[in-house]
Amino acid sequence: MKTIYAINGSPRKKGNTAQLLDQALVGAKASFPEEEITAERIDLYDLHYTGCRSCFACKRKGGASYGKCAVRDDLHSLLERLLNSDGVIVGSPVYFQNITGQLHALYERLLFPYTVYSADRTGIPQKSIPFGFLYTMNVTEEWFKQSQCPAFLQLWESLIGRNFGYAGHCFAFNTYQFHDYGKYVSDLFSEMDKSSYRKAHWPQDCRAAYELGWKIAALACREEPVAPCGQS
């Protein structure tokens, strides 16, 4: 039995990110029909937790929590589930050119216990878990490429990739943010352009998410470890 999780870093449960994550899970389930795969979406904004609290219990010499996060909140059991999983797809809307705050807090708690303050900078080796990343954002691909956003996202992907394994990423640009643009101050955008862009591109975005899920499940079913580092 293989377990794949899709982590929804958006507060919206039916938004762009959630819809693409669901496609990724469909892809994961389709990957190996003969394998038994559990595929579940977890909505981070349903959980109550903080980022790293800098308690250093994970670094205390001989401590019971050495190498593990000692904070007992809703993330405690989620971290355990992720670390015992066989593949993870993380989805985030872009907020101020980066991942959302909730996902940032999860990454701190996931990564800091394995970050060792040793001179040779070797961390604590983890089980190889393929991680895939998907992002949705308002801006067009051209804007995105000219911004600092690719570098911000790449940093997280390489930190996760180095500790666990990297399976790829996909992006949905120029997303539809509101159901009715007429109700909100948003004359920066043309609803007509957004609508025609979505018609043309959303099926491809869904396909890319499906394929990412498919790939993660395929990697999860192999015996070899996943390549460590994220490349943009």
Q: Which residues bind ligand FMN (CB under 6 A)?
A: 10, 12, 15-18, 93-97, 136-139, 175, 177
What whole-number distance in Å separates Cα of residue 166 and Cα of residue 133? 9
Which structure tokens are listed for 97? 């050119």
Contact at 8 Å (CB) between 223 and 127?
A: no
Which structure tokens are listed for 130? 């393929």
The DSSP output letter for 69 is -
Which structure tokens are listed for 82? 């992720």
Q: How far is the CB of 5 from ligand FMN (least distance, A)?
A: 17
Beta bridge partners of 164: none
**In terms of CB distance, is 45 or 49 closer to ligand FMN?**
45
**In terms of CB distance, is 103 or 220 closer to ligand FMN?**
103
**In terms of CB distance, is 3 or 177 closer to ligand FMN?**
177
C-alpha angle 45/51/57, rounded to 5°?
135
Q: Which residue is nearest to ligand FMN (CB)?
A: 15
C-alpha angle 182/198/93, rounded to 5°?
85
**In terms of CB distance, is 32 or 152 closer to ligand FMN?**
152
**In terms of CB distance, is 56 or 184 closer to ligand FMN?**
184
What whole-number distance in Å separates Cα of residue 172 and Cα of residue 177? 12
Q: How far is the CB of 94 from ligand FMN (least distance, A)?
A: 4
Q: How far is the CB of 42 from ligand FMN (least distance, A)?
A: 14
Q: How far is the CB of 118 from ligand FMN (least distance, A)?
A: 36
What whole-number distance in Å separates Cα of residue 18 and Cα of residue 65? 33
Phi first, then psi, for residue 92 (nearest 5°) are: -145, 140
**In terms of CB distance, is 97 or 126 closer to ligand FMN?**
97
**In terms of CB distance, is 85 or 175 closer to ligand FMN?**
175
Nearest to 80 by CA among 42, 23, 28, 53: 42
Q: How far is the CB of 13 from ligand FMN (least distance, A)?
A: 9
Q: How far is the CB of 80 from ligand FMN (least distance, A)?
A: 26
What whole-number distance in Å separates Cα of residue 204 and Cα of residue 185? 29
Q: How far is the CB of 186 from ligand FMN (least distance, A)?
A: 11
